[in-house]
Amino acid sequence: MKRLLLLSAVTSLTLFGAAYKLPEQSLKGVALGAANVAACDGADCAYYNSANSAFLEANKQYLEAGLIGVHLPAVKFNGTVAISHTTIIPANGKTKIENKVVPYLHYISKEYGNFRYGLSVTTPGGLVKRWDTPVQKLYAKKFDLKIININPSVTYKVNSNFALSLGADIVYSDGKVQSDGFDLKIPLKRDLDGDSIDYGYNLAATYHLDNGVNLAATYRSKVKLSLEGKANLQMGTFANIYDSSVNVYLPAQLDFAISKDIDKFTLEFVYERTFWSKYKTLDFNYKTALPAALQPSFDRPIPKNWKDTNTFRFGLQYRYNNKITLLAGYSYDQSPIKDKYLSFELPDSDANIFSAGFTYKQNKNLTWGVAALYDNKKSRRVSTYNGIRGKFSKGGAILITAGVQYSF
């Protein structure tokens, strides 16, 4: 398969724990805003907390499949950009509106002794950003990243209250990048696409108390994205392709969760820590040295200096009757990007996230439902090291999902 280096698109590959992450990877995951760790009770435990699968009915297999519609409203920018020490130009603009549909699949086996097996196929992160305005095109005419994670897992039931799980993350990423400064009479252009397969692991532990309290902890390791291939670079009439490589680490993530059953209600709180501070710079290596004229634009380490982030998730389930369960969630999600390092390829900010949905038990084996989520990004005024001065606003995301759960 042809593999081309993604260049500065790699800044957008590290999106599992901020910005345009998609931790909502099931019907309940969307409805509860991913506050579905300690109390998960279906096939989606294979993704959120595979240790919980030990406490499902022993002789049953569980399956869930669904589609998530993702709507990304336009991000607006009002301000200026200093394209040199002496030239500051207006840079008002907005991204294109994006609409995507992503599938998911979860499966949990029946019990084999004290063991149980699971599999999830999800799209846990990604980015789509397109700008048509001349200044923004210099940075990010198009950034399009797709990520698919295949996550097999095995769970061991230690006793009637405690279980442990180990899983693998097999991550496939595919990206396309375009940037173009010719409209500004800055003769720089790149047009790249590429893919990569990389690996990590995940751990989970659950303790079920007899009073309806569940305690859980999950951990996903960092994943080294090893991109190597060719970079097509253009300056003026000169264009050439170079063998290139770069390493980027998707950050580790740690979750602590607690849930409590109270009559017809289940309440859950999740604290999520994402370890972004390892992301200091983005640096590229070339098999042969670039010409001196290209080095300032294409061979200079890009500072990132991101920070670790916290996300706080709250979920509520209400069993209205034997068939209908109502669901709602709220999350506060921090951005890892400091004001000084914000740019057009990832104009991120802190977010308030609201979600709701329902499930309907059609019969003893089949349940279906619908859920929606609104990610409300805060406006953000910045003055960056690379000359961007102004206000980013709007943006965010709207998710709509429909899913089917089946046990047999």
Q: What are 167-218's pLDDT values in tens digits?
A: 999 998 877 777 888 888 888 887 777 788 999 999 999 999 989 999 999 9
Best CA proximity match to 23, nearest among 336, 267, 355: 355
- Give the mean pLDDT of 14-43: 81
Higher model confidence: residue 193 or residue 327? Answer: 327
CA angle 404, 123, 24 (to 5 degrees): 60
Domains and CATH numbers, the chain: 7-407 (2.40.160.60)
Q: Tell me, what's the pLDDT at 271? A: 98
Cβ burial of 255 (10 Å; 0-12, 13-18, 19+) is: buried
Inter-residue contact 405 to 63 (CB < 8 Å)? yes
Facing residues of 228 across strands? Answer: 245
Whether the predicted model's global pTM rises above the 0.85 cut: yes
Average pLDDT over residues 66-74: 92
- Whole-angstrom Cα distance, residue 16 to residue 198? 14
Burial of 404 from C-beta contacts in 10 A (0-12 / 13-18 / 19+): middle
Go through the chain and tell me how many residues it has. 408
Beta-carbon contacts of 37 under 8 Å, excluding residues fewer than 6 positions away, are: 48, 49, 216, 218, 255, 257, 268, 270
**Measured between alpha carbons, how far is 307 from 248 in angstroms, rounded to an integer?**
16
Distance between CA atoms of residues 36 and 34, nearest Å = 5
pLDDT tens, residue by residue, 120-143 = 999 887 667 788 888 888 887 877
